Amino acid sequence: SSEVTQDPAVSVALGQTVRITCQGDSLRSYYASWYQQKPGQAPVLVIYGKNKRPSGIPDRFSGSSSGNTASLTITGAQAEDEADYYCNSRDSSGNHVVFGGGTKLTVL
């Protein structure tokens, strides 16, 4: 399959840890990247490669991968982390790109 899939919604209590996952066959071969998108805004890259964070992204965001599953972990979730999160990766061909359907994170 060339798709990657995400759970539609996840919730976390303020200050707790949450993991958002992305599954797909192509993730066995290629890294996922993760984006945070708040309403009315463009997505922001938060994790790419083997757990790399762009400048300005808090270190409470981390990434990992095992088999066909990539994960984004937020350790000590803050109210401002409430957003939609998207994973993406190359597809199995290596030349095309796929996005997950997105996970809506609610911070309680």
Strands 9-12 and 103-107, bridge-based pairing: parallel
Q: Would you count residue 88 as binding another protein (CB under 8 A)?
A: yes
Backbone φ and ψ of 30, nearest 5°: -125, 145
Burial class of residue 20 (count of CB atoms within 10 Å of its CB; 0-12, 13-18, 19+)? buried
Q: How far is the CB of 16 from another protein (least distance, A)?
A: 26
**Cβ contacts of residue 78 below 8 Å, gap of 6+?**
14, 15, 60, 107
- Which of 12, 20, 22, 30 is the binder for another protein (CB under 8 A)? 30
- Dmax over CA atoms of the chain, in Å, equals 40
Among 54, 78, 80, 108, binds another protein (CB under 8 A): 54
Q: Is 52 in the site for another protein (CB under 8 A)?
A: yes
Among 4, 20, 72, 98, binds another protein (CB under 8 A): 98
Asked if 9 interacts with another protein (CB under 8 A), we say: no
Round to whole Å and give the CA distance between 4 and 88.
7
Is position 64 an interface residue for another protein (rule: CB under 8 A)? no
Please report, as ranges, the residues that interact with another protein according to CB under 8 A: 30-33, 35, 37, 42-45, 48-50, 52, 54, 84, 86, 88-90, 95-102
